[in-house]
Amino acid sequence: MTPETPELDQLLTTAAAAADPAGGFGWLDEHGARTPGKVPETWIGARMTHVFGLAAAWGRPGAAELAEHGRRALTGLLHDDAHGGWWSDAHGTGPKQAYVHAFVVLAGATLSRVGLPGGTDLLHDALAVWDEHFWDDDAGAAVEEWDAAWTTCADYRGANANMHGVEAHLAAADALASRGDHDRAARLRRRCVRTAERVVGEARARDWRLPEHFDAAWVPQLQYNRDSPADPFRPFGVTVGHQFEWARLVAQLGTVVDLPAELATAPAELYRVAVERGGAPDGHPGFVYTLDWDDRPVVAARMHWVVAEALAAAAVLGAVTGEPGYAADHDHWSNLVELLVRDPRTGNWHHELTPEGQVGHTTWTGQPDAYHVAQALLLPRIPISSSVAESVVRAVS
């Protein structure tokens, strides 16, 4: 029997309200209600499917039905039947994005690993699209974006989509291995090592300041989006939350492969500099969204997902290393969440706060995303492995 998790249960109750009767998951506002007229987006739908897949394995009533609601949208409403792959939203618009497809892979992997119907088929379909269109074996990383018909690939390359590609591939490898396909699982994990070496290697070369943006030759574009620094997916400068997220993912990768020596030191270093440079650099509590290349705050807003990833990284690194400092950090940031970030009305977290602790709207509106919070709540309660789904299955077995 899984432990009582009232914070997770309240979060899931609110997240369930995002289910759109027409298909997919809508955008929740600050009151936990679906925003009228806002079309369901595929990245939100895939994340919600993943979250409810985890919740179903965790034994939460109604979660399996919500995961199936998400799966049906991913195989129907949100899927491009003409060209293959997935649209950006339910209107069938936008380019074909690696970021979106990484979460479809993750959703399929989670449903497959926890044993929900149709998960394995979705996983195989999503991996086939990734292999054909996004994975660049010469680069050891994924390209970013195609037009709808897969005829033109954008020159931009991004660390964000590749980071979530690593997360998705780790989950996919666990799902495949659980069904006896150990060779393919090993290949996917080798991809993760190559991608991490490329991206994290760029951070190491800059005293652990992680570049996010690259051109087609993988040359860092350090001034990218300087005029749009608060972009939700491609902000200028160093994204503090991604330092934590890469730290966690590389540590999880190290539970299933022998990491190269230089990569093995990365989790502790990425975590350290995120804490030292991103934590309260302006004198206010919490982590800023972004820093410039001299470690000065650019966007000082406090994003919910950043502290969620700080908590997740502390949980994973603490379990993997046994070092007590990570647990102390986790306790401190958990108190901060209760004081400032968690919304007691919805159980979700305020997605953006000003440095002074007021609800902000510069980058995010509402509370549409349960993914970061759900994982941050689960990771301290489950054995650490290479994916959250694998860990949940082990915890309940």
Cite the active site residues.
242, 372
Identify the CA nearest to 105 among candidates 137, 138, 83, 131.
Answer: 131
> 43, 51 in Cβ contact below 8 A?
no
Distance of CA 250 to the CA centre of its chain: 13
Own/partner contacts of 320-324, CB < 8 Å, gap of 24 or more, are: 320/251, 320/254, 320/255, 320/267, 320/384, 321/268
**In 77-209, where does DSSP find H-type helix?**
98-114, 119-129, 159-178, 182-204
- Dihedral (C-alpha) 343, 348, 353, 358: value to the nearest 10 degrees? -20
Residue type, 70: G
User: Using CA atoms, how far apart are residues 171 and 249, in angstroms rounded to an integer?
Assistant: 11
- Beta strands 352-353 and 213-214, pairing class: unpaired
Measure the CA–CA gap between 292 and 288, rounded to whole angstroms.
11
* Rounded distance between C-alpha atoms, residue 386 and residue 167, angstroms: 9
Beta strands in the chain (DSSP E): 96-97, 135-136, 141-142, 145-146, 157-158, 213-214, 238-239, 290-291, 302-303, 352-353
Query: Residue type at 6?
Result: P
Residue type, 61: P
Among candidate residues 339, 344, 340, 364, the one with its CA nearest the CA of residue 352: 364
Dihedral angle, C-alpha 166, 171, 175, 176, nearest 10 °: 10
Helix/strand/coil for 128: helix
Q: Give me the amino acid identity at 55.
A: A
What is the identity of the amino acid at 258?
Answer: D
The answer to whether the CB of 271 falls within 8 A of the CB of 247 is yes
